Amino acid sequence: MLKVKNLYKSYKTGNVNYDVLKNISFDVKKGEFVAVMGPSGSGKTTLLNCISCFVPFEKGEILLGGENISGLNEESLADIRNQKLGFVFQDFMLLDGLSVIENICLPQIIADKDVTKMEVLANKLCTTFGISHIKDKYPAEISGGEKQRSAVARALINKPYIILADEPTGNLDSKSCRAVIDSFVQAKKELGATVFMVTHDSFAASFCDRVIVLKDGEVYTELTKTTNRIEFMDRLLDTLKKLGGDDSDNE
Ligand SMILES: Nc1ncnc2c1ncn2[C@@H]1O[C@H](COP(=O)(O)OP(=O)(O)OP(=O)(O)O)[C@@H](O)[C@H]1O
């Protein structure tokens, strides 16, 4: 579903080039729930932004559903962003002037889809994520967890290849955090969704199938859940502790 091959990305500050991503390679299979973790500054957001087609990269390849996005023009990248990617952001990015159901329909409206069909799809997603009772409310009238579940529903309405989530639990209390993670797990189980999430939160990451750990712009290690969530979280915390990062602060 997602293939990253020998990816390099640098930023130029003055005359100096800083290598931020160095020879990153990994795959995410259809229906997998994968997290990216690592210390602050290790390149997680930059990696997500490259996959999101938001920032260009110098070397390497990113394939989405088999299609190589390197070298595509801005118009094609915009199409990919709208039709093949679903986004869930830390601060929800719901439009205040639209109701929950209108927010969920937004990617379909942008893609100029049929209104009746989009309403059917949006209502189904509301049922799946248990937000039918708030679908006519506005973002200011719903809780943080409900906002995130609405954002997950919106990310899924165009049936994207993959959902990209940037710190989706970062602003939430533990109950709302759990609601968001449950909605990803549900999207994976019931809709076969593929989810790729950047997080500092080992509790959230412990619900994933696999965690890619970055250090100084390189893949330090990949951890796969083999037995149960608690054992996986212990291994994650051990690994993050060895890195000396700031990611073991959620327990
Ligand atoms: N637009 C930019 N211009 C120059 N340098 C940048 C830019 N964006 C990020 N960087 C640098 O790239 C490195 C990686 O940043 P990035 O935001 O990807 O790390 P991160 O792992 O997501 O960090 P955090 O966990 O703190 O969010 C950092 O050293 C950062 O200062």
Element (H, E) at 34: strand 33-37
Contact status, residue 201 vs residue 208, Cβ threshold 8 Å: no
Give the domain extent around 114: 28-43+51-57+74-245
For residues 44 and 37, give the distance between their C-alpha atoms in angstroms, rounded to a whole number.
7
Q: pLDDT per residue over 150-164, tens digit each? A: 999 999 999 898 999
Tell me the per-residue pLDDT of 123-178, one tens digit each, with 9 for 90 and over: 999 998 899 999 999 999 998 888 888 999 999 999 898 999 999 888 777 877 88
Q: How many CB atoms lie within 10 A of CB 138?
A: 16
Token pair 């995130």 is found at 148
Confidence of residue 251 (pLDDT cuts 50, 70, 90): very low
Residue with tokens 């209502």: 123
Ligand 1 centroid distance, CA of 154 (Å): 27
20 with 11: CB under 8 angstroms? yes
Q: How many domains, the chain? A: 1
Average pLDDT of the segment spanning 103-125:
93
| CA distance to 70, 116, 120, 122, 246, per residue, from 127 (Å) | 37, 17, 11, 9, 37
Ligand 1, CB within 6 Å, residue ranges: 11, 13, 20, 38, 40-46
Q: Check residue 249 and give its pLDDT.
A: 47
Look at residue 217 and tell me if it is in a domain: yes
Distance 40 CA to ligand 1 centre (A): 8
Q: Is residue 18 part of a domain?
A: no
Instruction: Identify the three-state secondary structure at position 193.
Output: coil
What number is the ipTM of this complex?
0.97
Give CA angle at 182 (66, 85), nearest 5°: 25
| CA of residue 18 to ligand 1 center, whole Å | 10
Assign residue 108 the CATH number of its domain.
3.40.50.300
pLDDT for position 3: 95
Residue 64 lies in a domain: no
**Which is more confident, 124 or 70?**
124
Query: If pLDDT is split at 50, 70 and 90, which confidence band does 71 have?
Result: confident
Look at residue 245 and tell me whether its pLDDT is greater than 70: no
Residue 171 resides in a domain: yes
Model confidence at 54: pLDDT above 90: no
- pTM for this structure? 0.90
The residue whose CA has the least distance to atom 3 of ligand 1 is 11
- Taking the centre of ligand 1 as the mean of its atom positions, its distance from the CA of residue 48, in whole angstroms, is 11
Report the range of poorest mean pLDDT among 48-52, 86-90, 114-118, 238-242.
86-90
pLDDT at 230 over 90: yes
| Ligand 1 atom at minimal distance to the Cα of residue 198 | 22
Report how far ligand 1's centroid is from the alpha carbon of 114 (Å).
40
Instruction: Provide mean pLDDT across the span 96-101.
Output: 96
Indicate whether 215 belongs to any domain.
yes
Atom of ligand 1 nearest to the CA of 12: 4
* Residue whose C-alpha is closest to residue 203's, from 37, 32, 89, 39: 37
Instruction: Name every residue whose Cβ is closer than 8 Å to that of residue 63 and which is 6 or more positions away in sequence.
Output: 2, 3, 4, 5, 69
Lowest mean pLDDT among 30-34, 51-55, 87-91, 171-175: 171-175
Indicate the top mutation candidate among 10, 44, 50 to test ligand 1's pocket, ranked by most ligand atoms within 8 A of CB: 44
Centroid of ligand 1 to alpha carbon of 74 (angstroms): 23
Tell me which H or E stretch contains 12.
strand 2-13
